[in-house]
């Protein structure tokens, strides 16, 4: 296949696609709005699953390099009640089914695996239009343009490419994350570090949850989950760290101090991240020369599958294009039909978990994991 592929977005999905295309000798260019690979933090830990994310790593021919990123012991998991009682304490079983890596390190691995110049930084898309016969024009904020016969929107929740295919827009799901970090926690926050342990911690209650991961070294990364409206969060000044953490911590009055310290003792300003989703089962009619992957295609509320699905989308699209070098439309049709089914199935499974199995309490979450263990 000699048609160059134009990819919008240098996230994990877009980079996986570029890498798989490179493995198969297919040229690609990735256009990214950020000015450099280090322009912003890349988020925290990801568990890369053996049934999707790791399949993408294998398709990218990066298995050995990926194994070098895995943080030992991080599959350990604890579930606590709000009073700090440990209800479940699972050690890392060492099977590697869901190994944890740092998102930024995984992205760096993918970037380093691509030929120099594959990613064009500082190219923010201002608009995209169809020229007909499978050709599309991408306009950038700096006035530049590119015309392509094969356009892939890997540009996330607020994709500029999606409107070519769909009128769907993400809607707020009714809850947000507030992220905090505690650094050098074993020394500076020993009680909290001991509570989190060597892997992840979950302390759920209806409408209120505290999650935390031990990242590389002794960094604790917490996700405080609150089921509140956008207006409620807009009333908090997140630029005032003391006031914001006090306001968030007030929602956990009566919880164990070693849990609320993940909020009050943060070493960074808290970051508000509202959660959005596209309609469940989102799909579109085939349009020549363009498709979507990852959150641009099937944005869902956080369920542990987003990065894995984006990477698998990229890998499967790359493989389909390599398998149909003389028929782009056949490749895109094959990819989309499989992707639609895959993302819909994952969404249904997530809905079953959150709506039917997990009622928001720590005890119900423990019961879910106990049931999973019994069926293995």
Q: Could you tell me which residues are annotated as the binding site for NADPH? A: 40
Q: Cα(373)–Cα(375) distance, rounded to whole angstroms?
A: 6
Feature table: binding site? 40, 47, 103, 295
Give whole-number Cα distances, 240 to 189, 235, 269, 270, in Å.
22, 12, 8, 9
d(CA 79, CA 58): 32
Query: What own/partner pairs with CB < 8 Å and gap ≥ 24 does 128-133 have?
Result: 128/160, 128/161, 128/163, 128/164, 130/164, 130/287, 130/290, 133/288, 133/289
User: What CA–CA distances, in Å, run from 30 to 23, 121, 264?
Assistant: 15, 8, 40
Query: Token digits for 338?
Result: 């499989």
**Rounded distance between C-alpha atoms, residue 329 and residue 367, angstroms:** 46
* Separation of alpha carbons 243 and 241, rounded Å: 6
Q: Which residues are annotated as a binding site for FAD?
A: 47, 103, 295
CB burial readout 143-167, b (16+ within 10 A) else e: eeebebbbbbbbbbbebbbbebbbe
- What are the φ/ψ torsions at residue 367 (nearest 5 degrees)? -65, -35
């Amino acid at each position: 296949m000699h048609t160059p592929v134009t990819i919008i977005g240098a996230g994990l999905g877009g980079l996986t696609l570029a890498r798989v295309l490179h493995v198969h000798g297919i040229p690609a260019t990735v256009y990214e709005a950020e000015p450099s690979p280090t322009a912003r933090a890349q988020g925290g830990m990801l568990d890369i699953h053996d049934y999707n994310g790791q399949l993408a790593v294998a398709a990218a021919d990066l298995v050995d390099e990926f194994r070098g990123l895995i943080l030992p012991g991080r599959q350990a998991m604890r579930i606590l009640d709000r009073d700090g009682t440990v209800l479940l304490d699972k050690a890392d079983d060492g099977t590697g089914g869901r190994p944890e890596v740092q998102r930024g390190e995984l992205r760096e691995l993918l970037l380093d695996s691509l030929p120099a110049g594959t990613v064009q930084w500082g190219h923010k898309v201002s608009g995209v239009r169809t020229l007909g016969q499978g050709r599309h024009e991408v306009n950038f904020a700096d006035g530049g343009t590119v015309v392509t016969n094969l356009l892939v929107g890997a540009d996330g929740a607020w994709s500029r490419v999606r409107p070519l295919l769909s009128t769907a827009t993400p809607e707020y799901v009714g809850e947000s994350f507030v992220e905090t970090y505690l650094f050098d926690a074993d020394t500076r926050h020993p009680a909290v570090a001991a509570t989190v342990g060597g892997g992840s911690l979950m302390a759920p209650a209806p409408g209120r949850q505290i999650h935390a991961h031990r990242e590389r070294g002794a960094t604790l990364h917490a996700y405080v989950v609150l089921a509140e409206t956008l207006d409620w969060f807009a009333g908090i000044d997140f630029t005032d760290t003391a006031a914001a953490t006090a306001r968030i911590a007030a929602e956990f009055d009566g919880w164990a101090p070693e849990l609320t310290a993940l909020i009050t003792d943060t070493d960074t300003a808290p970051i508000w991240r509202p959660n959005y989703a596209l309609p469940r089962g989102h799909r579109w009619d085939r349009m020549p020369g363009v498709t979507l992957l990852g959150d641009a295609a099937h944005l869902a509320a956080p369920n542990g599958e987003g990065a894995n699905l984006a990477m698998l989308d990229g890998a499967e699209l790359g493989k389909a294009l390599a398998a149909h070098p003389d028929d782009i439309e056949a490749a895109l049709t094959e990819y989309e039909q499989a992707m639609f089914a895959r993302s819909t199935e994952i969404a249904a499974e997530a809905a079953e978990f959150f709506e039917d199995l997990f009622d928001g309490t720590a005890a119900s979450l423990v019961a879910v994991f106990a049931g999973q263990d019994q069926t293995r």
